[in-house]
Chains A and B, each alone.
Chain A
Amino acid sequence: MTVAIVGVGHTSFQSTTPDISFKEQMFEAAVKAYEDAGVNPRKDIASFLTAAEDYYEGYSIFDEFVPDQLGAVLRPVCTIGGDGLLALINGVMQIETGLFDVVAIEAHSKASDILTFPGIVTHGLDPIYNRAFNVHPYFVAGLEMRRYLHETGTTREQCAAVVVKNKQNALSNPSAAFAAKMTMDDVMNSEFVSDPLTRRDISPLADGVIVMVLASEEKAKQLSDHPVWLKGVGWCSDTPWIESRTWSAAEYARLAAERAYKMAGIKNPQKQIAFAEVDDWFSYKELQHIEALGLCENGEAGKLSEQGNFSRNGKLPVNVSGGRIGAGNLLEASALQSVLECVLQLQGQAGKRQVKDAETAVAQSWRGVPTATGCVAVLSSEL
């Protein structure tokens, strides 16, 4: 594959943004991304993709409200009903067809507009089989976490360590919404939402918009001195039936990584990957995802995390940006937040939190309860 990210733009991530509309936020991020890439959307961008889900927005057919503030009017524009990374991957494929040379990707969260978030998540459960319980929909995560801890011997403390690390990492990310200096006790003593899952194991929602500009090899070399190349992509959905899933491991992430690594020629991820941005909607998910990506042996992520292996100065830093837990849960846009961090790091633009000598990184996403759907991308500063 020969597609690169040549421009990124984003708003800061905030717990609430009542003074500004999603359109105005998208405009801000788009202007920044196009400026970064040195392109004029009215002339240079051939196609636009946005990642959105109607119930997160409170609109049916949110696609309607996308083009104006992206400079995309009367151009090829579409919505991908998936996370930002899936939109990016579809943009990559569009370029790979040879039809387009420059494509823009947008993902956003205006979570603060949602008054009944648990109600929305519940509406994603199967209406016939899983909605009748009248319980917070994160019971699905509670079930999964219990089985994961049970099968792997991972402890609640090890999950809590993820929260402490990601909040700490976020302190060095000026865009992050939920940076904090938190102790293990703070996490362990927070109230249960769905035992063993506590309130602090859950990433808090935030608002934010991220826009990226992708380009073909030829165009990328013209546009950018520091293009970040997409070396491999993979995505996968495991069964939608929560009753028949493998709870102990993130199969969708393993299968997606298999595909992405194959494409990127990654045979030994622990050696070849310098750092990773993985989905941490819930603390234990980071551990599951680290294992699924082959960044450690199955069941070892908790222990290694506790030992600092995945800290910013550890052997294989994970979620240096702070992830969803520290930077904020941006719904479908967190997947692009992961990519954004990889881009900034690989370009040497990550400021205080810069990881040294990083050449290859992996970004991984999950769509949240009740899905078993996610994507993986391998990125590199070298073609």
Chain B
Amino acid sequence: MNVKRRVAVVGAGITLFRRRLKETGKELSYLAANAALESAGMTMDDIDCVVMGTAPDAFDGIHMKADNLLDGAGATRKPYSRVYVGGGTGVFSPIGGWWHIASGLFDTCLVVAEEKMSPCIPHPQTAFRTIWDPIITRPLNPNLVWIFALEMNRYMKTYNIPKEHIAMVAVKNKGNALDHPSAQLAAKITVEDVLNSETMVWPVQRLDISPPSDGAAALVLTSEDVARKFTDAPVWIDGVGWSLDSAYWTNRDLCFPQYVAEAAKMAYKMAKITDPPKEVDFAEPYDPFTYKELHHMEGLLLAKKGEAPKLTAEGVTQRDGDLPMCPSGGLLGVGNPIAAAGLMKCCEMFWQLRNEAGKRQVSGAETGVAQAWGDLMQVGTVTVFRR
């Protein structure tokens, strides 16, 4: 199947990412949307439709929260859709925007991703109490980190991965985030710091985990001819992919994220990429936990199964390495307002591919891949951007 129309990104905006922000979800949406429009030299009058990405309503504490957020996102009296795949939503929201334009129904689309996790008390993780099957899982009183620890252990055991190599992801990403003005947890740390940090759910330690955050991000998408009117340097969405695996996660082998591989294959096929490690210049794999960056590099077919840790240890994934991963600083460094964090990765690709990333700039970046992950370790969402 051939895609009818090419879709461009012409603007990007972001707010601060912090554990708590004073702005409401509406206000955060507005700040990010406005920043994106400004950067594109556009106003809401230029926008045909709006796509919202935001994770569970339980964080904000508002049922049908997209309907509450819509005026902040500029959607009043416009066609407005909320697309939703749990933690994968951030990278999925521009995919939703993509089909609004690629279908030919619209020429411009504002994509906004918002997350306001701080209203949920006693802890944002309390919202995760209700993500489980109420009949067979909730009676065990699980904490969300359990299942990631189970997956991490399975991954480490299957490929005999040393924890030191996994810890390097935290060192790299928190270091990269020092150059990101939105960053919540930028820091210069060492592998020892990670290994000596508090054990939360073994093998997951404190510095293996990204924080809960408030924040928002936005992109402006247009058709090819409209893009040319607003910018000389559009960035193209050349590949999109998404895939959802079975809800019965205890019936799957957790050592490899097959759903990410399926999503990546779909996106690469559309972008006509046949040799991903050679043809992709940098990537923003989803890194809510250290090991996930590695797991996802493999799912994205940027490393062979079990080999991402070794590449990381060799420095390949550093910002000045052969295949930089998370030059933004990722969720571990910039923060994790869930949907907004995923869209932050797409914003990063936009800035990198326009050579606007300042100190974070990856030299010679022409093709980037962003990916997010979510639900019960089950969904992969992938976008390929090109300059």
Contact = CB atoms under 8 A, between A and B. Distances in A.
Contacts of A92: 103
B243 A65 contact: no
Interface in A60-74: 60-61, 63-68, 72-74
B71 A64 contact: no
Nearest to B244: A77
A180 interface: no
B61 A76 contact: no
Given A55-B57, A61-B131, A96 B80 contact: no
B140 interface: no
B38 interface: no
B68 A126 contact: yes
Contact of A60 (B57, B77, B85, B104): B57
B243 A74 contact: yes
A53 B63 contact: yes
Interface in A109-156: 120-121, 123-124, 126-128
Contact of B81 (A68, A90, A239): A90
Contacts of A17: none
B68 A238 contact: no
A236 B78 CA distance: 5
B112 to A, nearest CB: 13
Contacts of A123: 61-63
Interface residues of A, number: 61
B97 to A, nearest CB: 11
B243 to A, nearest CB: 6
Given A53-B57, A239-B76, A124 B64 contact: yes
A277 interface: no
B160 interface: no
Contacts of B262: 74-75
11 contacts: A54-B58, A54-B130, A55-B63, A55-B64, A61-B375, A68-B248, A73-B244, A77-B244, A78-B96, A236-B77, A237-B80
Given A82-B82, A92-B103, 10 more contacts: A58-B134, A68-B246, A74-B258, A78-B242, A81-B84, A82-B66, A93-B103, A96-B102, A127-B61, A235-B79
Shortest beta-carbon contacts, A-B, top 7: A81-B82, A96-B103, A77-B244, A60-B56, A124-B63, A93-B103, A97-B102
Interface of B: 1-5, 24, 52, 55-58, 61-64, 66-71, 75-86, 92, 96, 98-100, 102-105, 127-128, 130-131, 133-134, 240-248, 258-259, 262-263, 266, 270, 374-376, 378-379
